[in-house]
Structure 1
Amino acid sequence: MLDFLNLAQLYFPYILRGAIVTLELTVLALIGSIVLGLLTAFARMSKQRWLRAAAGTYIELIRATPALLQLFIIYFGLTSFDIRLDPFSAAVLTLGLIGGAYAAEVFRAGIEAVDRGQYEAARSLGMPSPLAMRRIILPQAAVLILPPFTNFVIAMVKDTSLALTIAVPEIMYRSYDAASQSFRSLEIYVMAGIIYVAICLPLSQLAKGLERRRVPR
């Protein structure tokens, strides 16, 4: 135990600094995911067939291919078109594209769960469709999607570990580096796990609390 504490004193602060990068990746990717997810969700519900087809194709392509492959295409593959992104930007873009596909389905399910009659009532009162969506439908849908969206955020935090493969200095990259230096892989990766738990466990409890509030008594 004393040996572990000595090792933690030496390497834990170094790994913990990677948590800042992990959180930065998560926040920026989430912003992109929300914007792209909403646009894709509306496209999926559009009356325009080509919009529905484009949105559906995007979602299925993301779902049908590994996230690591998508990261490599963006970081390495785009260089064929003379597009060179730094590792952090490539990771944010990839996670945002992946998140947008999954967020779109969460948003669509929440919007479609709101009683259609409320939208029709707002339209019958002369409220423009975008205004009805913004003031009537989306606020109610937001309540419904909060629990699954919180779980989505947790998955996003864990998916940032993919950035290790392109040398973004997040938690897993620093853990791998520390394990290579110390030759104490088990202890080092336990430290990384502690940090992930500290980030994700409060979010998990929040998701459970929100889910309980949705269940009628």
Structure 2
Amino acid sequence: MSDYLQLVQTYFPYVAKGASITIQLTIVALLGSVALGLLTTFAKLANLRLLRIVASIYIELIRATPALLQLFIIYFGLTSFGLRLDPFTAASITLSLVGGAYAAEIFRAGIEAVDTGQFEAARSLGMSTPLAMRRIILPQAAVIVLPPFTNFVISMIKDTSLALTISVPEIMYRSYDASSQSYRSMAIYSMAAVLYLAICLPLSGFAKALEKRRASR
């Protein structure tokens, strides 16, 4: 027992420092995902067929290929064109691209779930399409998509672990490094699990509460 406590005292602070990188990476990737997701959603719902095709290709391309492959293409593959990104930037871009495709489907489903009569009523009052979307449709859609979007955030936090493959010093990278030094894999990775649980469980509870509240209405 004392040996385990010594291990925790020695390595837990080191592994825990990766949590700040995990959170930073998640925040940056989420901002990119939301921006790309909204643009892709509006393109999917646009009257212009070309925009719908481009948006569909982007979504299907991202969803049909592994995120790890996309990360390697951006970090290693782009060097063939003289573009060398630092690990954090490459991971942020990759997670933003991946998240944008999935966020677009969440946003689109939320917008389409709003009664079409709401939009027609807004148009009959003289609102332009962008104004009706901003003032009437999007606020209602935001309430609808909040539970699935919270689950999406949890998935994004877990997906940041992919960044260890390009040496971003987040939780998993530091856990792997500490495990290599201590030869105590179970104990070290248990520490990583505690950190992920501490970050994700509150969000998971929040998502479940939102789903129950929505179901009770």
SS in 2 for 1:65: coil
Unpaired segments ≥5 residues, structure 1: none
Give the distance between the partners of 2:38 and 2:214, measured in 1 at CA. 22
Q: Which amino acid aligns with 2:114?
A: V
The two structures have a TM-score, normalised by structure 1, of 0.99
Off by >4 Å, runs of 4+ in structure 1: none
SS in 2 for 1:123: helix
Residue correspondence of structure 1 range 37-56 to structure 2 within 5 A: 37-56=37-56
Residue 4 of structure 1: aligned partner? 4
CA offsets 1:139-164 (integer angstroms, 9 cap, x no match): 00000000000000000000000000
- Of 117-126 and 152-161, deviating more is 117-126
Residue 173 (structure 2) pairs with residue 173 (structure 1): yes
User: How far 1:3 sits from its partner (Å)?
Assistant: 1.9
User: How far 1:2 sits from its partner (Å)?
Assistant: 2.5
User: How far 1:198 sits from its partner (Å)?
Assistant: 0.3
Give the distance between the partners of 1:99 and 1:144, measured in 2 at CA. 18
Give the distance between the partners of 1:153 and 1:112, measured in 2 at CA. 21
**Alpha carbon RMSD of aligned pairs, Å?**
0.7
Unpaired segments ≥5 residues, structure 2: none
Q: Which amino acid aligns with 1:133?
A: M
CA offsets 1:53-99 (integer angstroms, 9 cap, x no match): 10000000001000000000000001111111000000000000000
Give the distance between the partners of 1:14 and 1:26, measured in 2 at CA. 20
Residue 101 of structure 1: aligned partner? 101
Residue 68 of structure 2: aligned partner? 68
SS in 2 for 1:126: coil
Residue correspondence of structure 1 range 132-211 to structure 2 within 5 A: 132-211=132-211
Residue 112 of structure 1: aligned partner? 112
User: How far 1:46 sits from its partner (Å)?
Assistant: 1.0
Give the distance between the partners of 2:2 and 2:39, measured in 1 at CA. 53
Give the distance between the partners of 2:181 and 2:59, measured in 1 at CA. 41
The two structures have a TM-score, normalised by structure 2, of 0.99
User: How far 1:131 sits from its partner (Å)?
Assistant: 0.8
User: How far 1:216 sits from its partner (Å)?
Assistant: 2.9
Matched length: 217
Residue 212 of structure 1: aligned partner? 212
